[in-house]
């Protein structure tokens, strides 16, 4: 049966090409006859009339096929050009989006630096601006690295602030890099003052990022929302720098003192630029 199908297929194939071959022969013959009639014009006889009648449909088919091929080719060229233009526009759009992003980032950085400049002008201490280049807040010690070091006058023990308040203090420096112990680290202890009640204590960092104002006696009044500032007693941080805000006061805690949680003003996750004091808090120039 398979052989019969093959034979049938070959037969159909042969018939198809036989038809095409015959049509081509008729076309060539018609062209020759019509060409001869052009060279020797005369009244068309019956045979030439017959050829002319037969040739007309063939020429119509050829012209139609040619037009279709030409149209398809033009559409192809149009689509190729359109695709190329689309790629070019996408590339230009990506470049423009990148430029816009850079301009926006530069604008935001300029605004942050402007705020730092205003803070710098308000301080009665020599300072230097630095950029945060690395953060390490996942280990037991919460620190960040900045791009300024001893070559810029920075040394261990100097206080560091941001536009919103105290960041921490320098604990070590190389020529062009310094490491800052953050306010929220458990090893950080800053003499502090309640701005309204004037009660003094020590602000200690906490593992959860929330500090604790220690050594506030239970009889003292502490309110939620009280601002905590640096007391300026240790000789490291100048007096009056913003530290954080009180979020609660527990007088039922064990011992003689209240438990006072304090949330820092500085958002350490978003910290990008800082100001480093070039002298300690007790050494004005």
Q: How distant, in Å, are the alpha carbons of 20, 30, 33, 48, 109 from that of 57?
A: 14, 11, 16, 15, 76
Which of 281, 255, 129 has the alpha carbon at shortest distance from 191?
281
d(CA 164, CA 157): 21
pTM: 0.62
- Give the residue extent of every domain in the chain: 2-77, 127-277
The neighbour count for residue 35, using CB atoms within 10 Å, is 9
Q: How do residues 175-226 score in pLDDT, each as one tens digit?
A: 999 999 999 999 999 999 999 888 999 999 987 889 999 999 989 989 999 9
pLDDT of residue 244: 94
Give the lowest-confidence range in 89-98, 140-149, 243-252, 253-262.
89-98
Q: Read off φ and ψ for residue 49, nearest 5 degrees.
A: -65, -40
CA triple 169-127-238, angle to 5 deg? 55
> Alpha-carbon distance 231 to 198, whole Å?
9
pLDDT, position 8: 47
CATH superfamily of 127-277: Rod shape-determining protein MreC, domain 2 (2.40.10.350)
């Amino acid at each position: 049966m398979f052989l019969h199908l093959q034979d049938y297929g070959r037969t159909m194939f042969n018939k198809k090409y036989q038809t095409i071959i015959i049509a081509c022969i008729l076309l060539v013959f018609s062209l020759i006859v019509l060409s001869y009639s052009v060279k020797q014009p005369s009244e068309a006889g019956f045979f030439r009339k017959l050829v002319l009648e037969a040739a007309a449909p063939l020429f119509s088919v050829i012209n139609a096929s040619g037009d279709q091929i030409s149209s398809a080719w033009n559409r192809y060229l149009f689509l190729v050009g359109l695709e190329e233009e689309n790629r070019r526009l996408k590339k230009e759009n990506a470049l423009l989006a990148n430029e816009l992003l850079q301009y926006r980032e530069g604008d935001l950085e300029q605004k942050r630096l402007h705020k730092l400049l205003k803070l710098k002008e308000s301080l009665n201490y020599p300072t230097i601006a630095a950029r945060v280049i690395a953060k390490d807040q996942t280990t037991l010690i919460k620190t960040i690295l900045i791009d300024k070091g001893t070559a810029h006058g920075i040394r261990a023990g100097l206080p560091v602030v941001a536009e919103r308040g105290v960041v921490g203090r320098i604990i070590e420096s190389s020529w062009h890099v310094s490491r800052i112990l953050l306010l929220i680290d458990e090893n950080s202890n800053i003499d502090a003052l309640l701005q309204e009640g004037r009660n003094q204590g020590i602000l200690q960092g906490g593992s959860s990022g929330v500090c604790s104002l220690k050594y506030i006696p239970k009889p003292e009044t502490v309110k939620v929302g009280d601002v905590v500032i640096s007391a300026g007693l240790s000789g490291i941080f100048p007096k009056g720098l913003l530290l954080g805000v009180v979020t609660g006061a527990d007088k039922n805690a064990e011992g003689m003192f209240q438990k006072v949680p304090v949330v820092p003003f500085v958002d350490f996750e978003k910290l990008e630029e800082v100001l480093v004091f070039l002298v300690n808090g007790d050494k004005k120039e």
